[in-house]
Structure 1
């Protein structure tokens, strides 16, 4: 379940599709993004995210729930949010939270950051070696320079060719893992509110800590390649995800932005 949750956390990167306001949106306006999730081509979920950004601060809050076939086989839903300040090289998160429920089981995470360092982390349920000897605990030294799964996927650069030449050190409160990006070409993107080119990144997951060595889900994901598309929707120097394709044991899970509006 741990890396199923990580996959879903990565899936909710749809919240970042418009982490900065689209062209024409003024500081402080709310940007609402609609997102669809499908498994082997069948709709299983939907999400709505609201983003507010000004010249100093940013915040993203979203709601995700099962839909279509997904609502028939599993009752799933949750919220995810992040807030922080604007930095010269990107977005500096100060607080990240996740509240996720699936078939009656609940996972909550509240992580605080300062200058890329984790200052506190409260999660439920907690994991330890006492529960499972094969569990790899998170060390404090591994949290000195990390990003959350939401704002960490906002890449600030004016060089489109550099978007996929980096490693993202993610931490969600439970697990510490690296997303290793490499270039995979470009693709045209068109949705209600944006049309343009996206940088395609091939992504491999490299677990660092906070996982079970014997996890079959982890072993499967480590052998697979995730595909993420980044586009400069907000402004020319900010690339954010607009599409994701995540392999699962029963077929590809895809996430795609469908529309955006400014209020």
Structure 2
């Protein structure tokens, strides 16, 4: 269970902040379940005026390590056009309980154009499986950098948009809405305000309608706090709270600074 929930959290926080041209920054996250440490994640971003890349890693820790060992890495590279970060290649590899998953997804101008995943989709698919269609692969983002948002002159606009994820297996929208306004937040390298948003999972395709995990998350509210990255105009999550059947899973940035 830790692997699936942590990877969802990874999709919501797996990036380091943007910075000035030709610079690198690093973020580190503490992952907790019902207040107990179960994992950690770290990410490094490199940014130029027209290109960006992010590399991250996730591992179980604390009590979770006693139950099962989880290790994962992810990366994305792409180009920057105006206020948009357009992925070109996203990769993920992780193992948990002696099982492995791998994804290599290519994008072009906001559209996913190819994906190489393991394990592959079941063929023939289960009767309740909703397949991904070509039209659903347009205007999508990867799970690694998809929540790096540049809202323009109104930071509150962060909380008024859906984020269309595609990871090679599934298409889902993370539908953001206004939360509890601004919140104070501190981490190594950052002290200031964060914008609190609420979010709900809206599955689109690439999933089974009988999935208990999907059914549970559809009816729950996820909390995300976004903090500004210097003077770049880009905001990124520093706190995520995901409901689970055993209690809240939280990811909290403990570092938001240069390496």
TM bin (shorter chain): over 0.9
Where in structure 2 are the equivalents of 1:111-190 lying within 5 Å?
111-128=105-122, 130-157=124-151, 158-184=153-179, 185-190=181-186
The offset of 1:233, in angstroms, is 2.1
1:39 aligns with 2:36: no
Where in structure 2 are the equivalents of 1:2-81 lying within 5 Å?
5=4, 7-12=5-10, 13-16=12-15, 18-21=16-19, 26-81=20-75
**Alignment deviations for residues 39-82 of structure 1 (CA, whole Å, 9 cap, x no partner):** 00000001121111111111000111011111111110100111
Instruction: Give the Cα separation in 1 of the matches to 2:72 and 2:86.
Output: 23
Instruction: Give the Cα separation in 2 of the matches to 1:127 and 1:37.
Output: 29
What secondary structure sits across from 1:155 in the alignment? coil
**Alignment deviations for residues 20-57 of structure 1 (CA, whole Å, 9 cap, x no partner):** 02xxxx53232222111000000000112111111111
Aligned partner of 1:201 in structure 2 is 197
The offset of 1:15, in angstroms, is 2.9
Instruction: Give the Cα separation in 2 of the matches to 1:14 and 1:118.
Output: 21
Unpaired stretches in structure 2, ≥5 consecutive residues: none
Aligned partner of 1:192 in structure 2 is 188
Q: TM-score, normalised by structure 2?
A: 0.94
Asked if the contact 2:17/2:27 (under 8 Å) is kept, the reply is: no
Unpaired stretches in structure 1, ≥5 consecutive residues: none
What secondary structure sits across from 1:169 in the alignment? strand
The offset of 1:235, in angstroms, is 2.8
What secondary structure sits across from 1:174 in the alignment? coil
What secondary structure sits across from 2:159 in the alignment? coil
Where in structure 2 are the equivalents of 1:214-229 lying within 5 Å?
214-229=210-225
How many residue pairs end up in the alignment? 256
**Alignment deviations for residues 101-145 of structure 1 (CA, whole Å, 9 cap, x no partner):** 111101111111111111111111122362422111111111011
Instruction: Give the Cα separation in 1 of the matches to 2:258 and 2:136.
Output: 38
From the superposition, tell whether residues 87 and 234 of structure 1 become closer, same or farther in structure 2 (CA, over 3 Å). farther
Q: TM-score, normalised by structure 1?
A: 0.92
The offset of 1:225, in angstroms, is 0.5
What secondary structure sits across from 1:217 in the alignment? helix
The offset of 1:177, in angstroms, is 0.5
